[in-house]
Structure 1
């Protein structure tokens, strides 16, 4: 058996509230092998994004372990975390709000390269240009600012910026939910191609069962901070065992709940979730 690249063990995250604490994540455990994709799915407020922020240590867990390549980073100090910052990167939900509006694309992608020690601006620009090309944007994009791009193009810049650090793990927190259906498919295809070329490991956070089915080999389903079901993605989505998972799947297959595709376009495909069928 191989050792997982990422292992989350009994993760607990609590937030202070007026009358005590709110447990947003309750004893969550999962593992992801190198080069594979695990999806975390559930409705809004179930704890998905809290898990994402914990993995990249944008917040400190209350308890539990987050083991990356044998090292538990859950309780590391900021100084001890620095070597891991480049190994674990995040693609955020909002492809505009996550980019500095005052910088050009080449400078946005070049900033992580500067932090990695590439001091010459010309060297950073050359490497950033290669990354921008890798995510399918033309050379004319280099000196444009975020406001000049479409949502899908901005998300590609966000992906290029994440790749600039040379990560081993990419956490995608609802990375396609703000995009139109056709653009979602393009970004998913891009992420698959990058994974095939680089061997990246993905943790893909989503509420959209169609997206989850397209991108992941394994899935965990969350409700109220806990995992209620998990396993092979095709198996879980085709034959869900838990009532909550069955309800998510039923909602995904209901044309009345779909956004971005007219119901008549998917009537013939109601037996399987569609990429354009957010829950």
Structure 2
């Protein structure tokens, strides 16, 4: 069998606190095959973002392995890690805080191109303009700064910036959670479009099971820093093995209370229930 693109083995992350050590990741292990979308879900504070930041080496784990094509990057020096930075990119939760407010969109997207060795400003701007067009922004966006864009447009710039490095793995850390429902759908459609256009693998961090059902092939469920369940998304969300996953699903996928993008089958169920209630004269 071929080596998985990403392999996480016994990953541990400890944070010192005044009361002792807090273990944010507790021996987490899973693989991500090239070309797939793996989701990581769990309630707030379960370690999802710590996992994402460890994978892109914004954090150095306490122990364990993070392998890209079989090469462990978990302890690499900044210099040794440099070639891997372009292979693994991240789209952050806050589409405004992750962008330099003093730079224009073309400069933000062009910076990774400069780091890749494209020295000509004209060539960088041409390629940045192509990427900005690819994520669905008009040419008028090129010279505007982040404050002049909506949240969804800023997230598109963040995605274009990540794509400028031509990554093999794109880590999306709650990339749609700060957006309203209609813009969430647009960003998810964009990510699907990008995947059709180029070979790319997604690691999608989210607390929204509706979003996860829509976009992922497989899912990891986390609780208190530990992996509690892993499997094909449809199987895990339809018939979860772990009690915690069942509780998470029942709470998050109730179509009458769910916030954010609702899976199509739940929308249909809710519409049917509403129609039945109206026929019977019962308020929906």
TM range (shorter): over 0.9
Structure-2 change in CA distance of 1:229 and 1:108 (3 Å): same
Residue 49 in 1 paired to residue 49 in 2?
A: yes
Check the 8 A contact 2:208/2:260 in 1, yes or no. no
Task: Indicate if the aligned counterparts of 2:170 and 2:202 stay in contact, CA closer than 8 A.
Answer: yes
Structure 1 alignment gaps of length 5 or more: 272-279
C-alpha contact 1:253 1:270 (8 A) present in aligned 2:
no
Q: 1:128-180 CA deviation, whole Å, 9 max, x = no partner?
A: 00000111111111111111111111100000000001111000000000111
Aligned length: 268
User: 1:257 deviation in Å?
Assistant: 3.7
Correspondences of 1:27-176 after superposition (within 5 Å): 27-176=27-176
Matched, 1:253 2:253: yes
Offset of residue 260 of structure 1: 5.2
Structure number with greater Rg is 2
Of 11-20 and 125-134, deviating more is 11-20
Q: How does 1:176-215 map to 2 (within 5 A)?
A: 176-215=176-215
After TM superposition, the score normalised by the length of structure 2 is 0.91
Q: What is the CA-CA distance between 1:195 and the residue it aligns to?
A: 1.2
Per the TM alignment, residue 18 of structure 1 is displaced from its structure 2 partner at its CA by: 1.1
Q: What is the RMSD of the two structures over their aligned residues, measured on CA atoms? A: 1.6
Offset at residue 242 of structure 1 (A):
1.2
CA distance in 2, matches of 1:261, 1:110: 32
Q: Secondary structure at the match of 1:89?
A: strand
TM-score with structure 1 setting the length: 0.93
| Structure 2 unaligned blocks of 5 or more | 272-284
Indicate how the Cα distance of structure 1 residues 113 and 16 shifts in structure 2: closer, same or farther if over 3 A, else same.
Answer: same
Offset, 1:258? 2.9
1: CA distance between counterparts of 2:56 and 2:186? 25
Q: Distance in 2 between matches of 1:115 and 1:135?
A: 21
Distance in 2 of aligned mates of 1:260 and 1:73: 35
Relative distance call for 1:260 and 1:204 in structure 2 (3 A) is closer
Q: CA–CA distance in 2 between the matches of 1:269 and 1:245?
A: 21
